[in-house]
C-alpha cells in the first residue's frame, strides 16, 4: 500500500488502524456512494484521527483505489486457500466472478468515478501511478487465482490464464460502464441481467468440452499478440 516515505511528526503507524480505515471506507462507500462519502465520516467510523487517515491516504480518490486493492487481495487469498484444499474448479471460479461483480455493484453510485479511473493509469501523476500499480497487481492476482482454481483443468481452459484475465477484465469493464449509465431501477435490472448472461456464457465455455474440437491456442494467440503487460480492472 502506498504510504509516505516517513511518518509525519506525532502520527503513529498502526497496520490495524489501516485495516479499520479500509473496512470503514468500504462500508461508507457502499452506503453513500463515492460522491456521498467523506473522509471525515471514514475517520469517525474507523475510530482514527483525520491526521492518521490523511497520512495513509492522500484523498478520497486514493482511498477508493486502496479499498478496492485490499478487497482484491482478500478475494485472491480466499480462492488460493480454497484451491489448496481441493475446492477449486468451475464452482469456485463462478463464485469469484460473483464476488468481483458484487464489489462493483455495491459501489453503483461510484461507478462513474470507476469509469474515469480506467484512463488514469496512463497519466503521469501521483494518482495515475497509484492506479497503474493497482491494475498491475490485480491483474497478476487474477491470473494467479485462475491458475490455482483451475489447477486440475489447465489443459482444458479454452484460453490461457493470462488471456482469460484479459477477457474477464474487458467484460467487467463494459458492465461497469453500463452501471455508470444506469439511472433507474429498470436500467440497473438490465445491467444485472447482462452480468447473469456473461456468467452463463463463462460457465458454458471456460472449459473445452471433452467431445468438442480442440482449441489451437497458438493460432488463437497470433491474433492477439500483445496480451502481456499491465491490464486494468474496473475497481
pLDDT of residue 38: 92
All domains of the chain in start order, with CATH = 8-57 (1.10.10.60), 60-222 (1.10.357)
DSSP-derived letter for residue 207 is B
Q: What percent of the chain shows pLDDT beyond 70?
A: 76
Residue 72 in grid coordinates:
482484491
Between 23 and 11, the higher pLDDT residue? 23
122 pLDDT band, cuts 50/70/90, is low
Between 166 and 47, the higher pLDDT residue? 47
pLDDT of residue 13: 61
- Cα–Cα distance between 25 and 19 in angstroms, integer? 10
- The angle at the Cα of 165, spanning 120 to 160, to the nearest 5 degrees, equals 145
Q: Look at residue 93 and tell me whether its pLDDT is greater than 60.
A: yes
Dump the DSSP string for 41-73.
Answer: HHHHHHT--HHHHHHH-SSHHHHHHHHHHHHHH
**What average pLDDT does the segment 129-139 reach?**
81
Q: Look at residue 225 and tell me whether its pLDDT is greater than 60.
A: no
pLDDT of residue 207: 92
* Residues contacting 208, CB < 8 A, separation 6+: 156, 157, 158, 214, 215
192 pLDDT band, cuts 50/70/90, is very high
pLDDT of residue 197: 95
- The angle at the Cα of 45, spanning 42 to 48, to the nearest 5 degrees, equals 80
Residue 141 in grid coordinates:
492476482
Compute the radius of gyration of the chain from its Cα atoms.
Answer: 19
**What average pLDDT does the segment 135-150 reach?**
88
Q: How many other CB atoms are there within 10 angstroms of residue 88's CB atom?
A: 20
- Rounded to two decimals, the pTM is 0.69
Q: Look at residue 211 and tell me whether its pLDDT is greater than 60.
A: no
Question: What is the average pLDDT score of the chain?
Answer: 78
pLDDT of residue 189: 93
Between 106 and 183, the higher pLDDT residue? 183
42 close to 63: Cβ distance less than 8 angstroms: yes
Amino acid at each position: 500500500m502506498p504510504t509516505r516515505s516517513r511518518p509525519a511528526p506525532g502520527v503513529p503507524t498502526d497496520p490495524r488502524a489501516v485495516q479499520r480505515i479500509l473496512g470503514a471506507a468500504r462500508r461508507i462507500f457502499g452506503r453513500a456512494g463515492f460522491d456521498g462519502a467523506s473522509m471525515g465520516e471514514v475517520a469517525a467510523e474507523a475510530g482514527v484521527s483525520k491526521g492518521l487517515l490523511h497520512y495513509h491516504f492522500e484523498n478520497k480518490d486514493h482511498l477508493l483505489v486502496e479499498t478496492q486493492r485490499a478487497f482484491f487481495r482478500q478475494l485472491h487469498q480466499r480462492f488460493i486457500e480454497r484451491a489448496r484444499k481441493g475446492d477449486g474448479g468451475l464452482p469456485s471460479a463462478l463464485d469469484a466472478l460473483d464476488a468481483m461483480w458484487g464489489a462493483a455493484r455495491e459501489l453503483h453510485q461510484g461507478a462513474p468515478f470507476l469509469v474515469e479511473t480506467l484512463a488514469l493509469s496512463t497519466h503521469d501523476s501521483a494518482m495515475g501511478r497509484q492506479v497503474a500499480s493497482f491494475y498491475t497487481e490485480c491483474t497478476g492476482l487474477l491470473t494467479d487465482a485462475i491458475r490455482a482454481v483451475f489447477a486440475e483443468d489447465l489443459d482444458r481452459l479454452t484460453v490461457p490464464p493470462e488471456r482469460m484475465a484479459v477477457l474477464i477484465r474487458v467484460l467487467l469493464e463494459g458492465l461497469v460502464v453500463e452501471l455508470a449509465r444506469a439511472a433507474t431501477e429498470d436500467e440497473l435490472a438490465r445491467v444485472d441481467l447482462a452480468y447473469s448472461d456473461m456468467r452463463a456464457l463463462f460457465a458454458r465455455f471456460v472449459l473445452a468440452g471433452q467431445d468438442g474440437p480442440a482449441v489451437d491456442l497458438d493460432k488463437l494467440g497470433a491474433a492477439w499478440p500483445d496480451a502481456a503487460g499491465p491490464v486494468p480492472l474496473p475497481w
